[in-house]
Structure 1
Amino acid sequence: MNFKLNFGSKVKEAWVFYKNNVWNFILLMFVVFAVSYFASDHGFLVSIVANLLSVFITYIWFKSIFNMLEGKEFMPFSKESFPDLLKYWNLLKTTILIALTFLGGFILLIVPGFYFMGRLLFAVYISIEEPEKGARYAVKKSWEMTRGNGWRLFGYSFLIGLFTVLGFVALFIGVFVTYPLGMMILVMVYRDFKKFKEGNFVKEAEIIKEESKKEEVVVEEAKIEVKQEGEQNSPQIN
Structure 2
Amino acid sequence: MENNNYRNLVPSVGGSFSHGWSRIFGKQFLPLLLTVIIMGLLNGPSYGLKFDNDHWGPMFFLLPLALFGLAYAFLFLPVLEFGKDYIFVQAIRDEDVDLKTLFEGFKTKYLNIVLANLIVAALVILGLMLLVIPGIIVACRLAFVSYLVMDKDMEAMKAVEKSWQMTRGHGWKIFGMAILSFFIFFAGVIVFFVGAIVSLMWIHSAFASLYQSVLNESDDDNPIPILGVNEVV
**Normalising to structure 2: TM-score of the pair?**
0.72
Cα contact 2:11–2:213 (8 A) shared by 1: no
| Kept after mapping to 2: 8 A contact 1:98/1:120 | yes
8 Å Cα contact 1:102-1:117 kept in structure 2:
yes
**Which of 22, 32, 38 is the aligned partner of 1:16?**
22
Give the equivalent residue in structure 2 for 1:236. none
Larger radius of gyration: 1
* Cα offset, 1:50, TM superposition: 3.3
Decide which of 32, 36, 55 is 1:29's aligned counterpart: 36
Separation in 2 of the partners of 1:90 and 1:188? 23
* Number of the residue aligned with 1:105: 127
Give a deviation string over 1:132-190, Cα, whole Å, max 9, x none.
Answer: x4111111111122223323432233323432343223324311101111111101101
Q: 1:165 to 1:126 in 2, by over 3 A?
A: farther
Q: Are the aligned partners of 1:35 and 1:53 in contact in 2 as well (CA < 8 Å)?
A: no
For the residues of structure 1 that align with 2:16 and 2:142, how far apart are their CA atoms?
Answer: 21
Query: Is it true that 1:177 corresponds to 2:198 in the alignment?
Result: yes
In the other structure, the counterpart of 1:227 is none
Q: 1:22 to 1:144 in 2, by over 3 A?
A: closer
Percent identity, aligned pairs only, is 19
Q: 1:117 to 1:162 in 2, by over 3 A?
A: farther
Q: Give the partner amino acid of 2:19.
A: E
CA distance in 2, matches of 1:31, 1:53: 14
Are 1:38 and 2:45 counterparts?
yes
Q: Tell me, which stretches of 5 or more residues in structure 2 are unaligned? A: 1-9, 50-61, 223-233
Contact 1:67/1:73, CA 8 A, preserved across alignment: yes
Deviation at 1:99, TM superposition (A): 0.7
Q: Which has the higher helix share?
A: 1
Note if 1:158 corresponds to 2:183: no
Give 3-state SS (helix, strand or coil) of 1:175's partner. helix
SS in 2 for 1:109: coil
User: Residue 116 of structure 2 is aligned with which of 80, 85, 94?
Assistant: 94
Label 1:144 to 1:27 Cα distance change in 2 as closer, same or farther (>3 A).
closer
Which residue of the other structure, out of 101, 111, 117, is the alignment partner of 2:139? Answer: 117
Q: Whole-Å Cα distance in 2 between the matches of residues 17 and 151 of structure 1? A: 24
8 Å CA contact retained: 1:167, 1:174: yes
Tell whether 2:70 aligns with 1:64: no
Tell me what 2:209 maps to. Answer: 188
Listed as ranges, the gaps of 5+ residues in structure 1 are 202-238
Letter in 2 for 1:69: I
Q: Per the alignment, in what secondary structure is the counterpart of residue 109 of structure 2?
A: helix
Pair 1:23–1:149, CA change in 2 (3 A): closer
Distance 2:87 2:145 in 1: 17
Q: For structure 1, which segment, 94-103 or 63-72, has the greater mean C-alpha deviation from structure 2 after superposition?
A: 63-72
Distance 2:92 2:125 in 1: 32
- TM superposition shift of 1:78: 5.7
1:74 aligned partner: 97
Q: Is the 8 A contact 2:184 2:199 kept in 1?
A: yes
Q: What whole-Å deviation, never above 9, does each CA across 1:190-237 have from its counterpart, x for those lacking one?
A: 111122345xx9xxxxxxxxxxxxxxxxxxxxxxxxxxxxxxxxxxxx
Ranked by relative contact order (alpha carbons within 8 Å, sequence separation 6 or more), the top structure is 2
One-letter amino acid matched to 1:44: A
Cα RMSD of the aligned pairs, angstroms, is 2.6
Would you say the 8 A contact 1:59–1:88 is kept in 2?
A: no
CA contact (8 A) 1:106 1:112 kept: yes
